[in-house]
Amino acid sequence: MKTTYRAMQISASGKLELVERPTPVPGDNEVLIAVEVCGVCGADASDIDRADRALQPPRVPGHEVVGRIVALGPHAPSIWKRGQRVGVGRLGGHCNECSECRRGRFNLCRNQPVLGSSCDGGYADMMIAPATGLVSIPGELSSEEAAPILCAGIATFNALKKSGAEAGDTVAILGVGGLGHMALQYARNMGFRVVAVGRGEDIARDAIALGAHRYIDTNKENASEALNTLGGARAILTTIASPDAVAALIPGLAPAGRLVVLGVGEDPLPVSSGYLVGAERGVIGSITGSPFENEKALAFSVLAGVRPMIETMPLERAQEAVERMRSGDAKFRIVLTMGDRSNAHQ
């Protein structure tokens, strides 16, 4: 095993810089992962912008990590082996002690690290991870395919499961991007009548190809009225953070329908309480999932043929990848590759 590894850390200027760091040793109930790939997510941009510039060593972003275990710390569970391919998502490992963990709601653990934000992430050749955060990667998926499923995949997969919609119901997906393009595929394969809602005709063909039965262009149609001609949506998943766009779609909810919020923004979402009470509609948030749920999302992706649309870039171009993601030019996810995977079996 090499004594140093490459990492893209957040510099004092807010840019990513390539550095060499000493290879760490996993602690109690931790593993050391030789990273093969790491997806680039919209949350990475927020992590970079909000990073503590005084932190030493500087933070390494990235939370869609796939690699192989090269070392295990004391008391790491026996289900994890050296050379095994694993993933780590946004939530870096639950504590098994807080009230939420005791209820089995591990994704709501109050003490777990947030990868790339409160602890170092996967824009690097190596990464330490708590064993409770590990996800087993099925052999049918390449590392590049699996990485975005650890965030965009599990987030939309779980949101659809929480939506209350049943097979045959109408489900609308607001936003056809990194999250939305996964949601469309899952929704179609779960048996919903899928409506994609976006802005502009340039994305229409992709939306239909990804599984939408109907595409609504908000530049040309009133989206909520279009949904109501279909009887209203049993569920609306919003993958974007624009409160105005979300609020404009809410009148398209059917009675007892749910708005499931995935896109995170700082501005409040205006919702009429009378509209919610009058027909028992609801608004809920949904946050990724536990490692077990992530494995279910991966397994469903294999069974249903759901795959992210990706482009790959080498680690040293991470800054360019983040800028491309910020601009909206990525179609639909970017995955960083580490190049040298020789450490994985040593």
pLDDT tens per residue across span 13-67:
999 999 999 999 999 999 999 999 999 999 999 999 999 989 999 999 999 999 9
Pairing mode, if any, of strands 233-238 and 253-261? parallel
The model's confidence at residue 339, banded by pLDDT at 50, 70 and 90, is confident
Q: Kindly tell me if the per-residue pLDDT of 324 is higher than 90.
A: yes
Every domain range in the chain assigned CATH 3.40.50.720: 153-285
Pairing mode, if any, of strands 85-88 and 64-72? antiparallel
Q: What is the pLDDT of residue 15?
A: 96
pLDDT tens per residue across span 82-140:
999 999 999 999 999 999 999 999 999 999 999 999 999 999 999 999 999 999 999 99
CA atoms within 13 A on the CB side of 6: 19
Q: Which residues contact 288 (CB under 8 A, 6 or more apart)?
A: 89, 90, 91, 107, 151, 154, 155, 158, 294
The model's confidence at residue 340, banded by pLDDT at 50, 70 and 90, is low
Kindly report the pTM of this predicted structure: 0.94
Give the separation between CA 154 and CA 70, rounded to whole angstroms.
Answer: 26
Q: Kindly tell me if the per-residue pLDDT of 345 is higher than 60.
A: no
Average pLDDT in the 259-271 region? 90
Residues forming beta bridges with residue 258, ordered by sequence position: 235, 282
Query: What's domain 4-136+309-345's superfamily in CATH?
Result: Medium-chain alcohol dehydrogenases, catalytic domain (3.90.180.10)
Every domain range in the chain assigned CATH 3.90.180.10: 4-136+309-345
The model's confidence at residue 341, banded by pLDDT at 50, 70 and 90, is low
- CATH number of 153-285, picked from 3.30.413.10, 3.40.50.720, 3.40.50.740, 1.20.59.20: 3.40.50.720
Q: What angle do CA 31, 158, 128 make, to 5 degrees?
A: 15
